[in-house]
């Protein structure tokens, strides 16, 4: 009997002869790959017993005569506030469960029948992201790992981050024929990076190249396979060529089996993580340009080698060695950008918090992370787990957090109070949960929904969130006490992951697709939050503190003391005095000065405490479909307005607008970028400029796939459809931009700021100021514009922000 401590990389299951085996794959701290086999775990689900004894008898009889069902067991589960008699259906194999449940669903409510089997195993064994496997080492058989273990049991251990072995690859293909010229890769093992090249020339040709590359994956045993746009291009190319050559499907996993695709995008292979560096970059950075060259230049200060992808056939014929060097360099750039955004490290932190294998975090969904926490607790408390449900798209939208109308103008010494973890705090303080929702509840939300007091039944959600809050506090304490920078960074990542997971609970529960979704819960959470915000505003105003804005969990008010020390003292004192119970206020920041043109969610301010930073919300500073000049001018205008130099801001903008009209601006500052979906998802895709740019780039030989951002410069905005020229980083650009189009668009953007002091879009272009700003017509239009804004659920912190 031995034991192995591993970080879980992935989990799956297989039918081995007559046995059902769960496979776990992991990595030890000293870099060994481990395959774990566990047998004897059975798939199961539940159904609520129908009230009719005759119907129940029919279902039982049908299942007892079904060879796919091993047995039935009596159970009692809390379902919709009542303890119900249920039957546990134990099946022979998990892939049979969907058909078995279909036979029951017309007559009874089916529960927990859509949980993937490997998740069911992880939940029931209460495995964490890192576990101690206790069992016997066994022969490797077909497994492709350093160690194979037949497990008997598992123990909890402290999480750790092993060094993962990463293979990054790229392919170069012919544009004239259906063939692959070469596959090149780099392998990072520990701190060492080695390159390999596989050519389709010579004896064996493409067949041998694909076989050799697959064998290299097996021999080098990477934990992670990556590359740039491998999901949409490189992997499909290899699979298609293997099929055309009548080869067996490539088998890159740690157990024999072909690659599989899901959601029409991502690829999966057993025991290894396939992560597209392009998708990771898109998720983390949302850059304006998504080509490898643009991203590498942005993140690394490096560029691709000088090989023309539009003339790959000629380049290969001229110098194949140079092309392979180019291909290998692309592989290395993909590896570097993946590591730069630290997606694997952040995913390990989330895996630790959600107690899941790394692969399920890298490629999974927010609801799967929540499931891992919630279903375990539900099972232990004998609470029924519904199947995933979807509410209709026309269901009533949940009203969001309270928004206090923004006042227009320049303000000084603006203090901001935040409700700490507002939605989790509301869930805890009001005992909000699907297990406490009851017509007999004594806690009544502003929407009319009722919840049981915790003295009657403590909700699962409040219990889980209190536990997560406690874990985060302990993790932050460990971070403060860390003795090394690496240790501090580890705990910082962990506490941030806990925070994100906590805030994700509301988003999932208020969605239209989650298994525990109930519109009354989401609406009650935001309603209680609105009441808390309004109550805070009343308290502040009762102390003669002027509130100029509030949005969801933040309240902005003016300090009566125009200096830093007194303002900090006031902010801390107010936050402490108005905090109560589970609802805690945090004094977040001071802005001096602060500007808004009077529209909600749009403001700019200079933060002077706790650090110095320009805060911009709601303007086109970060939007990827804005051009760089837009962002640059907006930033400069904000600085001038905050300095009180309104006329300087107008003069500066007028100067840039004139330079645009005169054609004096470099085209690189006018690039517009936007993502492209499948053309079939658009009603009139052939008229949409981003779709047309996408097609043009494909014609030019660039590797672009649906979901990717494309970039262009408008050359004639008056034409129908609009004329453009694609923009590719590093590619010469000779077309003439439509400078007047850009001048008008820039003026429209800046006028959202300058309009508040008399300069609208037309004025910025013409140089003639509008005749009257604060006349009745202007005010009535502004009031209508403000009042027309719907108050919908605000976008909370989510996994994309974390990643």
- In DSSP terms, which residues pair with 399 in a beta bridge? 792
Q: How confident is the model at residue 153 (pLDDT cuts 50, 70, 90)?
A: very high
Cα separation of 165 and 495, whole Å? 26
Of 214, 221, 173, 169, residue with least CA distance to 335: 169
Cα separation of 391 and 142, whole Å? 45
Cα separation of 596 and 604, whole Å? 7
Cα separation of 536 and 579, whole Å? 10
pLDDT over 50 at 86, yes or no: yes
Using one digit for the tens of pLDDT, what is the confidence trace for 472-494?
999 999 999 999 998 999 999 99
Top-confidence residue, 58 or 552: 58
Burial of 787 (0-12, 13-18, 19+ CB in 10 A): exposed
pLDDT over 50 at 168, yes or no: yes
- 8 Å CB contact between 419 and 425: yes
Count how many residues are written for the chain. Answer: 803
Cα separation of 780 and 783, whole Å? 5
Burial of 271 (0-12, 13-18, 19+ CB in 10 A): buried
CA 112, 352, 496, 266: dihedral to nearest 10 degrees? Answer: -70
Residue that the structure tokens 């001071």 belong to: 590
What architecture does CATH give domain 166-347? 2-Layer Sandwich (3.30)
Chain-centroid distance of CA 692 in Å reads 28
What's the angle, vertex CA 229, arms to CA 225 and CA 232, rounded to 5? 100
What's the angle, vertex CA 415, arms to CA 410 and CA 417, rounded to 5? 135
Burial of 269 (0-12, 13-18, 19+ CB in 10 A): buried
Q: How confident is the model at residue 358 (pLDDT cuts 50, 70, 90)?
A: very high
Q: How confident is the model at residue 781 (pLDDT cuts 50, 70, 90)?
A: very low
Of 427, 594, 442, 629, residue with least CA distance to 522: 427
The model's pTM? 0.87
Describe the strand order of the beta sheet including 709-716 as a list of residue ranges: 672-675, 709-716, 723-726
Of 377, 329, 385, residue with least CA distance to 355: 377
Q: Look at residue 780 in the predicted model and tell me its pLDDT.
A: 43
Q: Mean pLDDT over residues 33-42, rounded?
A: 98
Q: Mean pLDDT over residues 389-407, rounded?
A: 61
Neighbours of 721 (CB within 10 A): 12
Cα separation of 789 and 792, whole Å? 9
Chain-centroid distance of CA 147 in Å reads 34
Query: Which residues neighbour 497 within 8 Å (Cβ) at sequence distance 6 or greater?
Result: 346, 349, 350, 352, 353, 802
Of 292, 49, 31, 74, residue with least CA distance to 166: 31
- In DSSP terms, which residues pair with 14 in a beta bridge? 21
φ/ψ (deg, to 5) at 670: -115, 15
Cα separation of 534 and 557, whole Å? 13
* 3 state SS of 663: coil
Q: What is the DSSP letter of 272?
A: B
Of 356, 35, 4, residue with least CA distance to 223: 35
- 8 Å CB contact between 451 and 432: yes
- 8 Å CB contact between 427 and 370: no
- In DSSP terms, which residues pair with 609 in a beta bridge? 590
Q: How confident is the model at residue 783 (pLDDT cuts 50, 70, 90)?
A: very low
Q: Mean pLDDT over residues 343-370, rounded?
A: 95
Q: How confident is the model at residue 778 (pLDDT cuts 50, 70, 90)?
A: very low
Chain-centroid distance of CA 741 in Å reads 34
Residue that the structure tokens 């190319």 belong to: 237
Q: Residue 163 has which token pair?
A: 């060094």
Q: Look at residue 618 in the predicted model and tell me its pLDDT.
A: 80
Using one digit for the tens of pLDDT, what is the confidence trace for 560-587?
999 999 999 999 999 999 998 878 999 9
Q: How confident is the model at residue 264 (pLDDT cuts 50, 70, 90)?
A: confident
pLDDT over 50 at 793, yes or no: no
- 8 Å CB contact between 708 and 278: yes
φ/ψ (deg, to 5) at 661: -60, -35
- 8 Å CB contact between 417 and 588: yes
User: Which CATH number is 2-156 given?
Assistant: 3.30.342.10
Chain-centroid distance of CA 140 in Å reads 37
- In DSSP terms, which residues pair with 4 in a beta bridge? 133
Of 668, 666, 591, 672, residue with least CA distance to 627: 672
pLDDT over 70 at 9, yes or no: yes
Quick one: CA dihedral 583, 588, 592, 595, positive or negative?
A: negative
Q: Are strands 110-111 and 585-596 parallel, antiparallel or unpaired?
A: unpaired
Top-confidence residue, 87 or 552: 87
Q: Look at residue 785 in the predicted model and tell me its pLDDT.
A: 36
- Mean residue pLDDT of the chain comes to 91
Q: Mean pLDDT over residues 282-300, rounded?
A: 91
Q: Look at residue 730 in the predicted model and tell me its pLDDT.
A: 80
- In DSSP terms, which residues pair with 84 in a beta bridge? 77
State the alpha helices, DSSP H only, in 203-286: 205-220, 235-244, 277-284
Query: Which residues neighbour 650 within 8 Å (Cβ) at sequence distance 6 or greater?
Result: 754, 759, 764
Q: Residue 772 has which token pair?
A: 């009257």
pLDDT over 90 at 524, yes or no: yes
622-771 CATH, one of 1.10.132.60, 3.40.50.970, 3.30.479.30, 3.90.79.10: 1.10.132.60
Burial of 363 (0-12, 13-18, 19+ CB in 10 A): buried
HSE-CB at 98 with a 13 A cutoff on CA atoms is: 4
Q: Look at residue 402 in the predicted model and tell me its pLDDT.
A: 58
Of 653, 656, 675, residue with least CA distance to 664: 656
Q: How confident is the model at residue 775 (pLDDT cuts 50, 70, 90)?
A: very low
pLDDT over 70 at 597, yes or no: yes
Q: Are strands 224-227 and 166-173 parallel, antiparallel or unpaired?
A: parallel
Q: Look at residue 624 in the predicted model and tell me its pLDDT.
A: 66
Q: Mean pLDDT over residues 125-150, rounded?
A: 97
Q: Mean pLDDT over residues 95-117, rounded?
A: 97
Quick one: CA dihedral 497, 498, 501, 503, positive or negative?
A: negative
Domain boundaries along the sequence of the chain: 2-156, 166-347, 366-387+397-616, 622-771
Q: How confident is the model at residue 794 (pLDDT cuts 50, 70, 90)?
A: very low
Report the share of the chain in percent with pLDDT over 90.
78
Q: How confident is the model at residue 622 (pLDDT cuts 50, 70, 90)?
A: low
Q: Look at residue 788 in the predicted model and tell me its pLDDT.
A: 34
- 8 Å CB contact between 468 and 355: no
Quick one: CA dihedral 194, 200, 205, 206, positive or negative?
A: positive
Q: How confident is the model at residue 403 (pLDDT cuts 50, 70, 90)?
A: low
Low-confidence winner among 667-676, 683-692, 705-714, 748-757 (lowest mean pLDDT): 683-692
Cα separation of 637 and 330, whole Å? 39
Burial of 463 (0-12, 13-18, 19+ CB in 10 A): middle
Q: Mean pLDDT over residues 693-721, rounded?
A: 91
- 8 Å CB contact between 407 and 544: no
CA 306, 310, 312, 313: dihedral to nearest 10 degrees? Answer: -140
Say whether domain 366-387+397-616 belongs to CATH 3.40.50.970.
Answer: no
Top-confidence residue, 700 or 384: 384
Q: Mean pLDDT over residues 705-728, rounded?
A: 93
Cα separation of 307 and 685, whole Å? 32
Top-confidence residue, 767 or 726: 726
Q: How confident is the model at residue 601 (pLDDT cuts 50, 70, 90)?
A: confident
pLDDT over 50 at 799, yes or no: no
Q: Look at residue 390 in the predicted model and tell me its pLDDT.
A: 65
């Amino acid at each position: 009997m031995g034991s192995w401590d591993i970080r879980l990389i992935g989990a799956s299951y297989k039918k081995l002869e007559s046995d059902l085996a769960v496979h776990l794959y992991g990595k030890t701290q000293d870099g060994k790959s481990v395959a774990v086999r566990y047998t004897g775990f059975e798939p199961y689900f539940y159904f609520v017993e129908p009230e009719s004894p005759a119907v129940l008898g029919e279902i039982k009889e049908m299942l007892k005569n079904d060879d796919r069902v091993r047995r039935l067991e009596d159970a009692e589960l809390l379902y919709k506030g009542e303890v119900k008699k249920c039957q546990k259906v134990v099946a022979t194999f998990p892939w049979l469960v969907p058909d078995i449940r279909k036979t029951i669903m017309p007559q009874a409510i089916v529960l927990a029948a859509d949980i993937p089997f490997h998740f069911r195993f992880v939940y029931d064994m209460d495995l964490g992201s890192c576990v101690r496997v206790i069992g016997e080492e066994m022969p490797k058989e077909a497994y492709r790992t350093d160690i194979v273990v037949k497990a008997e049991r598992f123990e909890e251990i402290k999480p750790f981050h092993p060094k993962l072995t990463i293979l990054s690859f790229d392919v170069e293909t012919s544009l004239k024929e259906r063939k692959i010229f070469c596959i090149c890769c780099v392998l990072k093992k520990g701190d060492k990076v080695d390159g390999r090249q596989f050519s389709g020339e010579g004896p064996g040709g493409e067949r041998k190249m694909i076989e050799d590359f697959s064998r290299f994956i097996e021999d080098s045993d990477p934990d992670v396979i990556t590359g740039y746009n491998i999901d949409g291009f490189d992997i499909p190319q290899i699979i298609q060529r293997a099929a055309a050559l009548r080869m067996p499907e490539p088998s890159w996993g740690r157990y024999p089996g072909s690659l599989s695709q899901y959601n029409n995008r991502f690829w999966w292979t057993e025991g290894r993580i396939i992560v597209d560096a392009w998708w990771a970059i898109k998720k983390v950075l949302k850059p304006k340009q998504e080509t490898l060259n643009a991203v590498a230049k942005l993140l690394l200060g490096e560029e691709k080698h000088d090989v023309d992808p539009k003339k790959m056939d000629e380049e290969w014929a001229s110098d194949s060695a140079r092309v392979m060097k180019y291909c290998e360099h692309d592989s290395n750039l993909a590896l570097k950008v993946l590591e730069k955004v630290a997606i694997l490290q952040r995913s390990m932190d989330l895996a630790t918090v959600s107690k899941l294998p790394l692969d399920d975090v890298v490629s999974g969904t927010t609801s799967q992370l929540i499931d891992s926490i919630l279903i375990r607790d539900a099972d232990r408390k004998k609470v029924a787990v519904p199947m995933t449900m979807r509410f209709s798209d026309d269901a009533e939208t949940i009203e969001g957090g309270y928004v206090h109308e923004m006042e227009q103008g320049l303000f000084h010494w603006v203090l901001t109070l935040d409700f700490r973890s507002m939605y989790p705090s509301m869930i805890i303080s009001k005992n909000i949960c699907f297990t406490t929702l009851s017509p007999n509840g004594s806690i009544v939300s502003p929407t009319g929904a009722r919840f049981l007091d915790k003295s009657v039944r403590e909700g699962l959600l409040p219990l889980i969130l209190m536990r997560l809050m406690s874990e985060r506090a302990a993790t932050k304490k460990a971070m403060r006490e860390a003795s090394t920078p690496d240790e501090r960074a580890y705990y910082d990542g962990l506490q941030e992951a806990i925070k994100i997971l906590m805030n994700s609970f509301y988003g999932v529960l208020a969605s239209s697709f989650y298994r525990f979704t109930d519109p009354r819960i989401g609406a009650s959470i935001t309603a209680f939050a609105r009441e808390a915000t309004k109550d805070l505003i009343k308290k502040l105003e009762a102390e003669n503190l002027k509130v100029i804005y509030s949005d969801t969990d933040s309240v902005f008010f003016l300090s009566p003391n125009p200096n830093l020390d007194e303002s900090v003292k006031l902010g801390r004192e107010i936050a402490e005095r108005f905090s109560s119970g589970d609802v805690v206020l945090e004094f977040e920041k001071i802005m001096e000065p602060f500007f808004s043109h009077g529209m909600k969610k749009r403001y700019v301010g200079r933060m002077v405490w706790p650090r110095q930073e320009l805060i911009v919300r709601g303007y086109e500073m970060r939007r990827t479909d804005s051009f760089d000049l837009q962002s640059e001018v907006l930033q400069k205008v904000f600085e001038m307005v905050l300095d009180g130099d309104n006329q300087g801001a107008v003069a500066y903008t007028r100067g840039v607008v004139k330079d645009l009209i005169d054609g004096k601006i470099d085209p690189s500052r006018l690039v517009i970028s936007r993502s492209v979906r499948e053309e079939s998802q658009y009603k009139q895709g052939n008229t949409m400029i981003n779709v047309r740019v996408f097609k043009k780039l494909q014609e030019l030989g660039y590797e672009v796939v649906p979901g990717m951002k494309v970039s262009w410069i408008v050359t004639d905005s008056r034409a129908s459809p609009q004329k453009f020229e694609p923009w590719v980083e590093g590619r010469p650009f000779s077309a003439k931009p439509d400078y007047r189009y850009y001048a008008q668009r820039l003026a429209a953007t800046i006028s959202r700021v300058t309009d508040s002091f008399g300069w609208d879009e037309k004025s910025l272009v013409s140089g003639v100021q509008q005749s009257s700003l604060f006349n009745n017509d202007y005010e009535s239009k502004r009031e209508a514009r403000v009042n027309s804004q719907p108050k919908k659920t605000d976008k909370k912190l989510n996994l994309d922000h974390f990643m």
